[in-house]
Structure 1
Amino acid sequence: MDRWTGRVALVTGASVGIGAAIAKELVRFGMKVVGCARDVDKIKNLAAECQSASYAGVLIPFKCDLTNVEEIQSMFSAIKEEHNGVDVCINNAGLAHPEPLLSGKTSGWKNMLDVNILALSICTREAYQSMKERNIDDGHIINLNSMCGHRIIPNADIHFYTGTKYAVTALTEGLRQELREAKTHIRATVRLRCCPCGF
């Protein structure tokens, strides 16, 4: 972790759960962490906790609705202006709605697509461009995924969600191939977490 001291990480969905835990650990190891979420007050509380613990890094709360492309792009512009750019991008944000394939609401499906697939892809693109324009060749893009991205559970409520997580699996492999073709040492990694049904 020493080589990441003082460098900038973006963690999406940093207000609660896994995202908050990741942000806290990176700050503990000395990184500047931009933690984004719609509920920025929780990240402010976490930032104060990190400061009180005298962690080596700093947590920078940023309010961003990941379903809004303009807000994502504004966030990356602000990171560039205030912190030069992103060296590590952790696409943690994700959500699930109990919307079956045969009776689910389109609005629920769209929300899952917007956060689980589009926001992840936009953040990935913007992070890569940030690294490329600064000649950062050792950056890292990490996609948090679910076991639902690798198997289909017999539970109608999560079948659409499962589809979005299979997409994350495919997108991460596609990203790995594109980075290899670009002859860069920027890495793409997928990390698994439990899906909403507990598997």
Structure 2
Amino acid sequence: MERWQNKLAIVTGASGGIGAACAKALVGAGLRVVALARREQKLKELRESLPSNLQANLIPRKCDVSKEDQVIDAIDWTEKQLGGASVLLNNAGITRETELVTPGNTQKIREVIDTNVMGVLWFTREVFNRIKARGDEGHILIINSIAGHQVLNFIDVLPSFNIYPSTKFAITAMTETYRQEFQLHKANVKITGICPGAVNTNIFPEEIHFFVKDMARLKPEDIADAVLYALRTPSNVQIHEITVKPVGEIF
């Protein structure tokens, strides 16, 4: 991790779960972290949970990743005030309780698409172009899901995941497209997708928690370990995708 010491990372969805664990791990590994989320108070609590000598290295900032203007504003602020990010962790993701066939669910579906897909697109676009303009080395990571490779069987097992798997399938395709585009632009920027299985977080509504409460699940810190592993690789090595499952997972 030597080359990332004192470099700046951006973590979206950092107010809890995987995002909070990754933000803490990155600070512990010697990076400065701009932690973004809608719940600014949770970000401040995250900073206060760090050892006192590391708290200044976590910078909380409110941002709704589903709003393009807020994404661009956050990146512009980071560039002007902190010198720009070398690492981006696209972590923010949501689900909504509905079915694809449920009448009147357009707003719920759009919220998931705008957060899970468009937020990744906007952040990656803005951060990549700024890294390229500076001529720096960079690494962009995306928290995907095993649901980006298979539509989990919910018939008689789980409630419908509706549009969520579609957004994650999109991320799988985008990750490969980014790899090709970064190469086309001859940029010194890596791309890594991380596909967790079941993780003990609050991303899913209570209706789904009832079904998964006894299921084998990973800890958010397990995903943070995968993020650090990808970042530790030598400059000539690109981990394109990591799949992490708990032992005994049923999927």
Q: TM-score, normalised by structure 2?
A: 0.75
**What count of residue pairs does the alignment treat as equivalent?**
197
Q: Equivalent pairs: percent with the same residue?
A: 35
- Given the alignment of the two structures, is residue 125 of structure 1 paired with residue 128 of structure 2, yes or no? no
Does residue 1:159 correspond to 2:141, yes or no?
A: no
Q: Kindly indicate whether the alpha-carbon contact (under 8 Å) linking 1:28 and 1:56 is maintained by their aligned counterparts in 2.
A: no
Asked if 1:63 corresponds to 2:62, the answer is yes
Q: Secondary structure at the match of 1:103?
A: coil
Alpha-carbon contact 2:7-2:32 (below 8 Å) kept: yes
Could you report, residue by residue, the CA deviation over 1:33-88 in whole angstroms, capped at 9, with x for unpaired residues? 00000001111111122242x33971000101112111111101110111111100
Q: Distance in 2 between matches of 1:135 and 1:190?
A: 23
Structure 1 gaps of 5+ residues are: none
148-157 vs 162-171, which deviates more? Answer: 148-157
Q: Does 1:24 align with 2:27?
A: no
Deviations 1:102-126 (A, max 9, x none): 1161111000011000010000000
Q: Which residue of 1 aligns with 2:108?
A: 108
Rounded Cα–Cα distance in structure 1 between residues aligned with 2:185 and 2:102? 43
In 2, are the aligned partners of 1:4 and 1:30 still within 8 Å (CA)?
Answer: yes
What amino acid is aligned across from residue 130 of structure 2 in structure 1?
S
More helix by share: 1
Match of 1:73 in 2: 72
| CA displacement at 1:153 relative to structure 2 | 1.5
Shift of 1:154: 2.4
Q: Does 1:172 align with 2:180?
A: no
What stretches of structure 2 of length at least 5 have no aligned partner?
199-203, 213-250
Identify the residue that residue 146 of structure 1 maps to in structure 2.
145
**Root mean square deviation of aligned Cα:** 1.6
